Structure 1
Amino acid sequence: MMQQDGDSDRINIAIDGPAGAGKSTVARKVAEQLGYIYIDTGAMYRAVTLSALRASIEPQDSRALAALATSLDIELLPGDKGQTVLLNGEDVTDSIRSREVTLIVSLIAANETVREVLGAMQRKLAAKKGVVMDGRDIGSHVLPNAELKVFLTATVEERASRRFKEISGKQDVTLEQLAQEIADRDRLDEQREIAPLICASDALVMDSTAMTIEEVVEAIVKLSRTKLAEAK
């Protein structure tokens, strides 16, 4: 779907939250309902991580990571499974969800230049309004002027359970391992110096532990229509 010129009838929506909170699924469905563009920033960081793994670049090698990030061409396109991710023209939609990528993406995302490069890409994509963007620092850092900010969360146990169902049969991992990894990732995301996971002061906190995806989507769509009416 193409964006329309002007922003009089559109707003930007930022959806932040910890790993496994359902941000990507919710953001994609909200964008579909509103006719907006969905931007999965996590997929962009995963694409850089996959490229770093292939190039045998260690997460601690800041200089090499910085050079890598500036050299990559990352595209997000509408696809059958929600979004197709192209890395230098190669479809890596499935590859970036591998366990190897998941285990170190937070370390790669802590690199200052990586965040600067991807953040600039993300702001450019949102310049004309009408985007739903999800990540860790969208409302606080990437799009601080987004008209609607939602911080989507759930308990570690619930997030691990959702992720376990999502990858069941695809990856050899236990529910307990996933819960520990999600808790570890929360800590890494919250404690990193560069753009940590934080709830923006003007964000609405939504605990989805006892909510279905459809209920969360419906609530955010309703909020967005209220915000749009207020902006006019």
Structure 2
Amino acid sequence: MRAVVPHCTIDGPSGVGKGTAAKWLARELGWHLLDSGAMYRVAGIAAIDAGVPVEAPAEVAGLVRTMDVRFDGGIDDDRIVLEGREISGRVRDEAAGMLASRIAVFPEVREALLDAQRAFLRPPGLVADGRDMGSVVFPEAPLKVFLDASAEERAHRRCRQLWEAGKQATMADVLADIRSRDARDRGRAVAPLAPAPDAVEIDTTDLDVASVCRRILGLVRERGLA
């Protein structure tokens, strides 16, 4: 199945625009969308709600394997339900992002989420957004894209998102968080954040969203996936 169903992976650090690009591409192609970052955020929230220390990887992994989570929305609806409670707003908070980054360093947790992530691959196709989609989860993907941008530009984008949502944020704090998360993601022993050997790398620092999306769509068509 994984070799037959067309799929594209879009990896990169936070703030490079991979989520926006993945959502746009999935909508354009009529494919399914996997936001793997949301799955790690849900796992972190599940651990906190259950009173499981996020520093206890075996316990978090056990919880991940049994948690009842549903992604009820479509591409344009981020409705997420955990154990019968909607947690969509919490999943997008900065606190959830930090939780996700903390538990993502543990091999047990990453292994526990593998099957759940791979289950998203089904006809007519899949766009998978994350940090190790092309290198670990879907290593056979016919198209792998790795987006990157300077830490300063990513911090600026994130601040703008927070300000537009009516939340307080400073460039200094957001930049420090991004650099801290980058260090964890790039330095972890298992599945560190890095482009797959055959990934197409795109620096989005000086590119707008539309340009990035058009380039990825062009790559999909060049590979004969759509």
Q: TM-score, normalised by structure 1?
A: 0.89
- Give the corresponding residue for 1:174: 170
2:24 pairs with 1:29 = yes
* 1:176–1:18 CA distance, 2 compared to 1 (3 A): same
- Does the 8 A contact of 2:21 with 2:209 survive in 1? yes
Question: Alignment partner of 1:94: what SS?
Answer: helix
CA displacement, residues 156-206 of structure 1 (integer Å, 9 cap, x when unaligned): 011111111111154332111101110110110011112111110000000
Equivalent residues in 2 for 1:144-183, closer than 5 Å: 144-168=139-163, 170-183=166-179
Following TM superposition, by how much is the alpha carbon of 1:97 offset from its aligned partner in structure 2, in angstroms? Answer: 1.5
- Give the corresponding residue for 1:224: 220
* 1:201–1:91 CA distance, 2 compared to 1 (3 A): same
Equivalent residues in 2 for 1:1-232, closer than 5 Å: 11-79=6-74, 81-128=76-123, 130-168=125-163, 170-228=166-224
CA–CA separation in structure 2 for the residues paired with 1:188 and 1:129: 35
Q: Unmatched 5+ residue regions in structure 2?
A: none
For residue 220 of structure 1, what is the amino acid of its counterpart?
Answer: I
Following TM superposition, by how much is the alpha carbon of 1:7 offset from its aligned partner in structure 2, in angstroms? Answer: 8.0
- Does the 8 A contact of 2:27 with 2:75 survive in 1? no
CA–CA separation in structure 2 for the residues paired with 1:134 and 1:27: 6
Over aligned residue pairs, what C-alpha RMSD do you find? Answer: 2.1
Kindly tell me the number of residue pairs found equivalent between the two proteins.
Answer: 225
Q: Unmatched 5+ residue regions in structure 1?
A: none
Q: Percent identity?
A: 35
For residue 170 of structure 2, what is the amino acid of its counterpart?
Answer: T
Following TM superposition, by how much is the alpha carbon of 1:228 offset from its aligned partner in structure 2, in angstroms? Answer: 1.7
CA–CA separation in structure 1 for the residues paired with 2:97 and 2:22: 20
Question: Alignment partner of 1:18: what SS?
Answer: coil
Question: Alignment partner of 2:216: what SS?
Answer: helix
CA–CA separation in structure 2 for the residues paired with 1:43 and 1:135: 9
* 1:6–1:180 CA distance, 2 compared to 1 (3 A): closer
For residue 218 of structure 1, what is the amino acid of its counterpart?
Answer: R
CA displacement, residues 45-78 of structure 1 (integer Å, 9 cap, x when unaligned): 0001111122232221122212211111222233
- Does the 8 A contact of 2:54 with 2:102 survive in 1? yes
- Does the 8 A contact of 1:29 with 1:217 survive in 2? yes
Question: Alignment partner of 1:105: what SS?
Answer: helix
For residue 141 of structure 2, what is the amino acid of its counterpart?
Answer: A
Q: Structure 1 stretch 173-182 or stretch 66-75: which is displaced more?
A: 66-75
